[in-house]
Amino acid sequence: YNIVMRSWARKGCLQRINRLFSMLESIGLQPSLDSYAAALECMGRNQSSAKAIQGCLQKLKNDGFHVDELFQKCLFEEDEKEKVLRAIRIVQPNYQLPPPPTPQTCKSSLLQDFYSREKMVSYPKLDFSVQELKERFQQQLEMEVDNTITIESVESAKPLTPQAIKARKLLDTLRSQWHGSILQALQKSKHSMSKLKMVSGYNILYPYLCLLPDEEYVGIMLQILNSLSPQGESLAVLARDLGSKVYNRYITQRKLRSRQLEKVQEVYEGYIHLLAKDSQPDEYLPREYWEKLVMEAGFGPSLNLKDCSWPYMLLMRLGMHMLELLVKAVKVPRNILNPRLEPKLIPVLYHIYSFHSSWQVGLIKPHPIFSQIVSDAAETLLTFNSSAIPMLCPPVPWTSPHFGAFILNDTKLMRFVDGVIQHQLLLEQCPPVNLHPVLDALNQLGNCAWKINQPVLDIIISIFNDKGNEKLDIPPPISEAPRPSAASSNSSAWNKSQKHELLLCKKKAAEMHSLRMDALYKLSIANYVRDKVFWFPHNMDFRGRTYPCPPYFNHLGNDVTRAILLFAEGRPLGPKGLDWLKIHLINLTGLKKKNALQERLEYANEIMEEILDSADHPLTGRKWWMNTDEPWQALACCMEIAKASRSPDPAAYISHFPVHQDGSCNGLQHYAALGRDLIGATSVNLMPCSVPQDVYSAVAQQVEEFRKKDAERGVKIAQVLQGFISRKVVKQTVMTVVYGVTRYGGRLQMEKRLKEIDEFPEEYLWEASHYLVKQVFNGIKEMFSATRDIQNWLTESAKLIAQSGQTVEWVTPLGLPIVQPYYRSRSTVVSIWKPDTVKQKNAFPPNFIHSLDSTHMMLTALHCLRQGLTFVSVHDCYWTHALTVDVMNQICRQQFVALHSEKILQDLSEFMLEKYCSPGRETRALWQKKLMEQLSNVPKTGEFNLKKVMDSTYFFS
């Protein structure tokens, strides 16, 4: 009713608003603050009598509100705020707006230095003038106003065949016809809805089909049609996509209509003075500076929109309806490719059902005739949502859970499972000051400017357009997919093995198409921004792990994607930079993981000839780079080393190359630090050592000792496994034990590794994998005793919480509230969400460790900012310039020690006792007593001295 009131207020319909007030009172509902704002806005527009306004203000007071709250808590659009103030001043001429709240400073003990005003430094400057950043803002704005962007695909370089020209003309004709038939079907369905007197699931969509011009809905539907895979797409995914496209378009229009964009533009033009090289405001963080500018802007619309999110089920229903229109309206003559057939119209799309495990999944599949025309046309234009492209200007800083990242595109601070809103509610209830560290860390990551490594991109595109290369992770086109061997054309006569072969060929073709399209999108976007500087705005998942918002092309991508990214800012290598580039290259090869850093550097110097040959003749030389773990990043690094080593003064060489430092079995590092576990800490490189410790080899050795003893006692499977237990066999299970892998999951991992060994007897696979997973768990238990105790404590606590019908919640050491989003939904008239006990229990230990991991990364990011470093992360892999690797390493260790010096498990115990065990109650349920006992029994810690981490050389592997 608030939305209705606000729309009436804008039209000056005071009588209607008064009737709605009376109606609310008659059914015992108290009008909200927003309702009073609407009434006063209307009175301000109509310049109502002082008596009427006084009456409204008196009611507001009687309902427990204060007039100041209208301006402190309500969100306004257009000139609503001015009109409310005008009404109030009719009866209180001297009324002044309440002063803006005093900015609060985060009190976290981990960030006292960071937020200390005495230690503030100027925000690092970008290499752009104010004018250049204004121009980039305009480019980004134009792209977002259009909502979509169409770019050339990297396949456009191929010459056009006569067949392709003919197919493109045919597609143009068909699309023109389809446009008309979809428009007709849409208008017909809207007309039917408008005639229905009763509200139903069908006509409830009617208002949502009237928000945009009909042409826009048709354009959205055609866009989906153009990007459909020949193998079909999930009905649910397509429906969600269509609904979201309408929502995004509506939000953009609403922001334009409400004058919100004008205000964003005004504030952003001030904000870029913080970043531009030719401007020098005082010391502020991006969030602080943006908030200051918003306060100074005074009137105009609020930058957070009111009531704008659409429920998940509404998006799905809207999308499903649009899909139905597409299926009914879009048809093609059956004889369009074969004139001998009858000229009957057949649907281009049809519903099919497939089974995914035991679930029946609805798919929308294009007719093979349509897929053939699309394939023949070999179109080279790709259309994306504007939010899929990196930003062409620095992102809008996050200032709240509702505002940040893109200029117009609606972006959530926290990604979550469709239909689950608990995270958003937690964030809204959280005091804003508690979120400052997280928002500031996301802003720091998003403000890193990037550019393209053009020589590497060109080589990758040339291979992509020349049938790809699976060994180098460049997917071949679907034309290279295996075909079933010649068989009878009558499929009913096929034998079982022929049908199985056909099924495998179809599966492989579907996989190849998916991988090829993914690579096409990434490379085409990279090619589009090849001459530009760009930015990746960031948000996070429910555990606080950060991700770039553009989904296809970003630095979290695979080896190919990472190889074509460079920092836009260049820094000299300095005295040790070239050495770090060489060590980084050897790390990428995977060849010297057990060797000391000095040995890796010496090895790089020994193979300089191979490095230079790879750089100079990547596709025609000896191709050393191709046989490394990360070939494309290795090639990019070879090229950088070649340029630096050939420059007159390598120390002065300006490098844009990101050097990575990768966590050394990161999850186990956190567990070892939590439990102060000396043996565990040593095996994951938290202690100073002359060479890196390899936890996987240590566990393999432990398992081998167990096996030997069993073999001597005559255990058959232990005898069969002689000579087969290696680092490679146990690595995946050791790595994932920390992240909650079960014995069942671990057994499957072991079986997969043993299958890769040709000599291993197949008949023993099940028994051997079962035996090995048991021994790996025993080995870890023995080596990491404190780790298993903590894991068991977390699991048991989560089990008791979930069994009581509640979800597991906690707060990270940086103040981010977290709730696990695992529910069992029962489809009734009203959807009932109950916690999924098994998932809540099993996922808590890994999620808790992930939340600590993200906390450590954010602390590192913020302290790197204070020291002027370029810093980005891929979870536990940290990137910076070669010049600043040593400084980043130091900061990273300091923050790890600072984080684990907090009473993390004790604080968790206290938070959960307060939340779940109601300390004030005299009578407690049995489960509460059990939970109290469990939570109070915090695992004991060992003797490991955390300060030793500062001297650890191999904290990063």
pLDDT digits (tens, 9 = 90+) for 621-649: 999 999 999 999 999 999 999 999 999 99
CATH class held by domain 571-655 = mainly alpha
Q: Which long-range contacts (CB under 8 A, 24 or more apart) does 733-738 make?
A: 733/773, 733/776, 734/665, 734/695, 734/696, 734/699, 734/776, 734/780, 735/665, 735/667, 735/696, 737/776, 737/777, 737/780, 738/665, 738/667, 738/668, 738/671, 738/787, 738/846, 738/849
CATH no. for 132-339+372-414: 1.10.1320
**End-to-end Cα distance, the chain:** 58
More confident of the two residues 956 and 334 = 334
Active-site entry in 172, 662, 907, 951: 662
What's the confidence (pLDDT) of residue 586? 94
Backbone phi and psi for residue 858, each to the nearest 5 degrees, phi listed first: -65, -40
CA–CA dist 199, 206 (Å, integer): 10
- Residue ranges, comma separated, of all CATH 1.10.150.20 domains in the chain are 678-783
Given a cut of 80, whether residue 348 has pLDDT beyond it is yes
Active-site entry in 376, 440, 694, 876: 876
- Residue ranges, comma separated, of all CATH 1.10.1320 domains in the chain are 132-339+372-414
In this structure, are residues 851 and 739 in contact, taking their beta carbons and an 8 Å threshold?
Answer: no
What's the confidence (pLDDT) of residue 123? 78
Average pLDDT for residues 762-767, to the nearest whole number? 87
Backbone phi and psi for residue 810, each to the nearest 5 degrees, phi listed first: -155, 175
Residue length of the chain: 957
Helix, strand, or coil (residue 629): coil
Question: What is the tens place of the pLDDT at every residue in 302-326?
Answer: 777 666 778 888 899 999 999 999 9
What's the confidence (pLDDT) of residue 828? 41
What's the confidence (pLDDT) of residue 424? 83
Partner residues linked to 656 by β-bridges = none
Give me 677's structure tokens: 């576990």
In this structure, are residues 60 and 39 in contact, taking their beta carbons and an 8 Å threshold?
Answer: no
How would residue 650 be classed by pLDDT, with cut points 50, 70 and 90? very high
Q: What is the DSSP letter of 938?
A: P
Alpha-carbon dihedral angle through residues 379, 556, 549, 128, given to the nearest 10 degrees: -90
In this structure, are residues 822 and 839 in contact, taking their beta carbons and an 8 Å threshold?
Answer: yes
Which range is most confident: 338-347, 691-700, 769-778?
769-778
How would residue 28 be classed by pLDDT, with cut points 50, 70 and 90? low
SS3 per residue for 177-224: HHHHHHHHHHHHHHHHHHHCCCCCCCHHHHHHHCCCCHHHHHHHHHHH
CB under 8 Å to 580, separation ≥6 — which residues?
659, 882, 885
Q: Is 613 a catalytic residue?
A: no
Q: What is the DSSP letter of 878?
A: E
Question: What is the tens place of the pLDDT at every residue in 781-791?
Answer: 777 878 888 98
Residue in 124, 163, 105, 57 with CA at minimum distance from that of residue 869: 124
Write down the residue that tokens 């429906």 correspond to.
Answer: 239
Give me 890's structure tokens: 């130091």
Q: What is the number of other CB atoms lying within 10 angstroms of the CB of residue 121?
A: 10
CB under 8 Å to 189, separation ≥6 — which residues?
209, 321, 325
What's the confidence (pLDDT) of residue 219? 92
What's the confidence (pLDDT) of residue 855? 95
How would residue 19 be classed by pLDDT, with cut points 50, 70 and 90? low
Alpha-carbon dihedral angle through residues 674, 676, 677, 681, given to the nearest 10 degrees: 80
Distances 931 to 430, 674, 836 between C-alpha atoms, Å: 25, 21, 18
What's the confidence (pLDDT) of residue 621? 92
More confident of the two residues 341 and 432 = 432
Helix, strand, or coil (residue 365): strand
CA–CA dist 872, 378 (Å, integer): 38
Give me 77's structure tokens: 């659009």
Write down the residue that tokens 């291993």 correspond to.
Answer: 760
CA angle 490, 495, 497 (to 5 degrees): 125
Given a cut of 70, whether residue 253 has pLDDT beyond it is yes
Q: How many CA atoms lie within 13 A of 831 on its CB side?
A: 9
More confident of the two residues 41 and 577 = 577
How would residue 829 be classed by pLDDT, with cut points 50, 70 and 90? very low
- Residue ranges, comma separated, of all CATH 1.10.287.280 domains in the chain are 571-655
Of 73-77, 380-384, 571-575, 944-948, the least confident:
73-77
What's the confidence (pLDDT) of residue 830? 43
What's the confidence (pLDDT) of residue 198? 60
How would residue 179 be classed by pLDDT, with cut points 50, 70 and 90? very high
Distances 379 to 157, 165, 365, 417 between C-alpha atoms, Å: 11, 10, 20, 34
The bridge status of strand 809-811 relative to strand 817-819 is: antiparallel
Question: What is the tens place of the pLDDT at every residue in 676-689?
Answer: 988 888 888 888 88
More confident of the two residues 130 and 10 = 130
Question: What is the tens place of the pLDDT at every residue in 584-625?
Answer: 999 999 888 888 899 999 999 999 999 999 999 999 999 999
How would residue 486 be classed by pLDDT, with cut points 50, 70 and 90? low
How would residue 3 be classed by pLDDT, with cut points 50, 70 and 90? low
CATH architecture of the domain covering 678-783: Orthogonal Bundle (1.10)
Share of the chain above pLDDT 90, in %: 39
Question: What is the tens place of the pLDDT at every residue in 904-941?
Answer: 999 999 999 998 887 555 556 777 888 889 999 999 98
Distances 652 to 577, 649, 885 between C-alpha atoms, Å: 10, 5, 16
In this structure, are residues 869 and 860 in contact, taking their beta carbons and an 8 Å threshold?
Answer: no
Question: What is the tens place of the pLDDT at every residue in 815-825?
Answer: 999 999 888 86
Q: What is the number of other CB atoms lying within 10 angstroms of the CB of residue 751?
A: 16
In this structure, are residues 251 and 145 in contact, taking their beta carbons and an 8 Å threshold?
Answer: no
CA angle 225, 229, 230 (to 5 degrees): 105
Q: How many CA atoms lie within 13 A of 738 on its CB side?
A: 24
Q: How distant is the alpha carbon of residue 170 from its chain centre? A: 39
Partner residues linked to 881 by β-bridges = 658
Backbone phi and psi for residue 225, each to the nearest 5 degrees, phi listed first: -60, -40
Q: Which helix (H) or strand (E) element contains residue 744?
A: helix 743-755
Q: Is 731 a catalytic residue?
A: yes
Of 11-20, 448-457, 930-939, the least confident:
11-20
Give me 346's structure tokens: 């057949």
Average pLDDT for residues 39-68, to the nearest whole number? 84
Residue in 49, 52, 56 with CA at minimum distance from that of residue 70: 56
Q: What is the number of other CB atoms lying within 10 angstroms of the CB of residue 248?
A: 20
CA–CA dist 76, 522 (Å, integer): 40
433-470: b (≥16 Cβ within 10 Å) or e? ebbbbbbbbbbbbbbbbbbbbeebbebbbeebbeebee
Q: Is 629 a catalytic residue?
A: no
The bridge status of strand 331-333 relative to strand 345-347 is: antiparallel
How would residue 720 be classed by pLDDT, with cut points 50, 70 and 90? confident
Given a cut of 90, whether residue 663 has pLDDT beyond it is no
Give me 626's structure tokens: 């191709």
How would residue 357 be classed by pLDDT, with cut points 50, 70 and 90? low
What's the confidence (pLDDT) of residue 825? 63
Question: What is the tens place of the pLDDT at every residue in 259-272?
Answer: 888 889 999 999 99
Q: Which helix (H) or strand (E) element contains residue 283?
A: none
To the nearest whole number, what is the mean pLDDT of the chain?
86
What's the confidence (pLDDT) of residue 217? 94
CA–CA dist 391, 136 (Å, integer): 9
Residue in 399, 400, 306, 298 with CA at minimum distance from that of residue 81: 298
Which range is most confident: 402-416, 500-514, 907-921?
402-416
In this structure, are residues 491 and 651 in contact, taking their beta carbons and an 8 Å threshold?
Answer: no
Question: What is the tens place of the pLDDT at every residue in 196-241?
Answer: 766 555 567 888 888 889 999 999 999 888 878 888 888 888 999 9
CA–CA dist 883, 898 (Å, integer): 25
Backbone phi and psi for residue 35, each to the nearest 5 degrees, phi listed first: -65, -45
Of 191-200, 326-335, 415-424, 883-892, the least confident:
191-200
Residue in 654, 662, 598, 596 with CA at minimum distance from that of residue 633: 662
Active-site entry in 81, 245, 522, 731: 731
Task: State the alpha helices, DSSP H only, in 196-329.
Answer: 214-226, 235-257, 260-275, 286-297, 312-329
Helix, strand, or coil (residue 360): strand
Is pTM, for the whole model, over 0.85?
Answer: yes
